[in-house]
């Protein structure tokens, strides 16, 4: 990457393919999610090394409640374990945790852990790790529009100022793994001018090197924001 190439400040990832990763290996789905968490851990380290200002990951959507109860509780257990095992490292490395979506719908023990992690990292000034939990763009935009209306101005700027991501830099790059090419109700507003990269790599196999390659691709793209 040359010094004057555009650098991504904010990258978002739809972490897809945990189930297929496990199926290919005749392993339970939960194992795919478990390996998915390991990929998250490496990604957060990579994001910091690449100097990203913000990394937003889609961990649990408003639609994921439709999954079997057992899978939902596996995902909750993994999230709790991730906070318990990784919070110290993240806090020491200047990561600031942020949640987008309404995580208060989760069980009280999960909410408590999340709030502890938010408080512990609140004053950090390094990479922001924004985790989307019980998140859906339609819900986010509707909530933001209602808040903007209550303040008296439903303009794009007023709505944007009320989005869950209002304090993050503009989204530069959105990556989806596992070969699916859709946004699945993730950051629909924020993706208006983002570059999109779809990769066949299944989420548990995604590494910091894959992130680096995506950032190289981003640096080579020319963004025109509707101009010419």
Options 3, 64, 92, 164, the catalytic residue = 64
CA distances 217 to 1, 69, 211, 214, Å, are 9, 39, 10, 5
What is the smallest separation between the CB atom of 104 and ligand FPP, expressed in angstroms? 17
* Angle at CA of residue 171, ends 76 and 206, nearest 5°: 50
Distance separating alpha carbons of residues 190 and 192, to the nearest angstrom: 6
What is the smallest separation between the CB atom of 17 and ligand FPP, expressed in angstroms? 4
Options 4, 16, 124, 167, the catalytic residue = 16
Where along the sequence are the contacts to ligand FPP (CB under 6 A)? 15-20, 33, 36-37, 40, 59, 64, 75, 78-79, 82, 131, 178, 203
Nearest residue to ligand FPP by CB is: 19
Of 71 and 160, the one with the shorter C-beta distance to ligand FPP is 71
CA gyration radius, the chain: 17
Is there a catalytic annotation at residue 64? yes
Is there a catalytic annotation at residue 16? yes
With the C-alpha atoms ordered 166, 79, 17, 50, is the resulting torsion angle positive or negative?
Answer: positive
Of 130 and 215, the one with the shorter C-beta distance to ligand FPP is 130
Of 10 and 35, the one with the shorter C-beta distance to ligand FPP is 35
Of 34 and 190, the one with the shorter C-beta distance to ligand FPP is 34
What is the smallest separation between the CB atom of 179 and ligand FPP, expressed in angstroms? 10
What is the smallest separation between the CB atom of 205 and ligand FPP, expressed in angstroms? 12
What is the smallest separation between the CB atom of 193 and ligand FPP, expressed in angstroms? 26
Of 20 and 45, the one with the shorter C-beta distance to ligand FPP is 20
Distance separating alpha carbons of residues 12 and 14, to the nearest angstrom: 7
The residues that are catalytic are: 16, 64
């Amino acid at each position: 990457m040359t010094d004057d190439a555009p650098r991504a400040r904010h990258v978002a990832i739809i972490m897809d393919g945990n189930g297929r990763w496990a199926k290919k290996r005749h392993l339970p789905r939960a194992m795919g999610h478990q390996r998915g968490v390991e990929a998250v851990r490496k990604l957060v380290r990579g994001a910091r090394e690449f100097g990203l200002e913000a990394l937003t990951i889609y961990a649990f959507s408003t639609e994921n409640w439709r999954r079997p109860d057992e899978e939902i509780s596996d995902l909750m257990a993994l999230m709790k374990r991730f906070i318990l095992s990784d919070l110290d490292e993240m806090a020491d490395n200047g990561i600031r945790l942020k949640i987008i979506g309404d995580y208060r719908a989760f069980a009280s023990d999960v909410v408590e852990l999340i709030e502890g992690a938010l408080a512990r990292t609140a004053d950090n000034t390094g990479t922001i790790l924004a985790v989307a939990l019980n998140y859906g763009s339609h819900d986010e935009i509707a909530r933001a529009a209602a808040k903007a209306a209550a303040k008296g101005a439903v303009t794009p700027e007023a709505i944007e100022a009320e989005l869950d991501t209002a304090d993050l830099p503009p989204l530069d790059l959105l990556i989806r793994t596992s070969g699916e090419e859709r946004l699945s109700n993730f950051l629909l507003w924020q993706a208006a001018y983002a570059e999109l990269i779809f990769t066949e790599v299944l989420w548990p196999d995604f590494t910091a090197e894959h992130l680096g390659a995506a950032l190289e691709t981003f640096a080579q793209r020319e963004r025109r924001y509707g101009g010419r």
